[in-house]
Amino acid sequence: MLLKKIINILLLLLSSLILIFPNSFQLVTAALLTVINLLILLRHKKIIIHKYFLVFWLILSSAFMFYISISDIKTQYKLEIALKYVYFPFLWLNLCTYIKQNFNIEWITKLLFKLSYISFFTVFILYGLMLNGYYFVEYFFENPNIDNDYFLGFTLNVYGNLIFFAAGLFILPKIFKNKLVEYFYIITFILVALISARTALLCALMIGFIILLIRYIYIKKPIIPFIYVLSLIGIVLGIAFLTEQYLNYRFLDYLKQGSLRKLVTLGGQERTSQSSYMFEKIINNPWGIGFGNIGLERNAQRDFKYEVLILATLMRFGIFFFTIIVSSFYPIYKEIINFRKLNDYKKFYLVGFFSIIAFSFTNPYLESFDFQWMFFCPLVFLSDFSNERFRWKLSLAKN
């Protein structure tokens, strides 16, 4: 019982770090993820791995290690890539399997939403500290871009997680029983999205509202969603207008000049150029070229990293192994057919998964192990473990 309590406490700490401060304490997060997996193994003396997952992990890990080995990059970066593409996915698959088998999916989802609620306020607090000269908070930022006129818009790592939640707004009535709490969640979410001026987050939020509208119309309450959504948007835009008038924080200007421009150009000119260049590389090298600088430097330290992750993956590993990667998520595709039969919690993970996949065309979320939960949690939670033919036990216990 003591070991189980320790695992649960560490799981809560890991969830908090990943959802509230992703990428900020990576060494601590990586250590926690490793220790939790070891404790789970120690407590149960065995792990149950879905045969489907294990086979694909072995095949893809072998392919990844081959392409990493032929890549013209420093050894330290090869190790870093191996950890992100081989080691951490295995830990996430193990951990997600343990969570699914030991916790209720409804309880897990409610916990994640409550932690996301806390992350909203960390955005406001950190931004306020930044504006008042407390630059130590840059530790939580990635290239803050606030100019002397308080021109809004900075990259806070937590925005990546919020993209996953934005598309799942339809589940809020199940999460928050109090309507005022639900409305306040949406209002603060919109404010955070405006502060971020991140095109991906704003688009995900719009998708969330569209799904919410469709849901209300489907249950034959067409007048409610329009009043509901328009009133919330009106409140937020009113706050944005007041801040522009009296505090000179230019929400709307940045939205018009920054985010809308990026939306029209599909993520900005840089990403468009990347896509064109990568398409050419893919056509000329259909078997993959591995990692390395292809002539487009987007990261001075790691010149092999690119925002357009989907095309970068196709370019690095080739058409054949890219097809295998896509096939590994078959359990999720299967649930699309059964979408109407799924409960709201499973629908949330399904919608969140495809939302983060869509925005992986503009941001390399899968390359950060802090964000990999958004890929592997839906994969495991939506898979069927009930059939014994698809179970494979790896036991350390003596027969």
Extended beta strands in 99-226, E state: none
pLDDT at 225: 54
Which of these ranges, 51-55, 206-210, 213-217, 364-368, has the smallest mean pLDDT? Answer: 213-217
Which of these ranges, 68-77, 175-184, 388-397, has the smallest mean pLDDT? Answer: 388-397
Q: Which of 90-104, 166-180, 234-248 is modeled with the greatest confidence?
A: 90-104
Residues 6+ apart with CB under 8 A from 231: none
DSSP one-letter string for 185-201:
HHHHHHHHHHHHT-HHH
146-160 average pLDDT score: 56
pLDDT at 388: 45
Mean pLDDT of the chain: 78
Q: Which two tokens stand for residue 276?
A: 């064109």
- Percent above pLDDT 70 for the chain: 73
Q: State the pLDDT confidence band at 186, using cuts at 50, 70 and 90.
A: confident
pLDDT at 63: 93
Q: What is the pTM of this model?
A: 0.85
Q: State the pLDDT confidence band at 229, using cuts at 50, 70 and 90.
A: low
* 356: nearest Cα among 370, 337, 375: 375
Which of these ranges, 51-65, 76-90, 290-304, 318-332, has the smallest mean pLDDT? Answer: 290-304
pLDDT at 120: 86
- Which contiguous run of DSSP H or E holds residue 393? strand 391-395
* 49: nearest Cα among 91, 106, 7: 91
Residue 217 scores a pLDDT above 80:
no
Q: Which of 59-68, 257-266, 283-292 is modeled with the greatest confidence?
A: 59-68
Residue 389 scores a pLDDT above 50:
no
Q: From CA 135, how far away is CA 301, in angstroms rounded?
A: 23
pLDDT at 239: 63
Contact 162, 226 (CB under 8 A): no
pLDDT at 207: 82
Residue 306 scores a pLDDT above 50:
yes
b/e map 233-256, b = 16+ CB within 10 Å: eeebeeebeebeeeeebbbeebbe
- Which contiguous run of DSSP H or E holds residue 395? strand 391-395
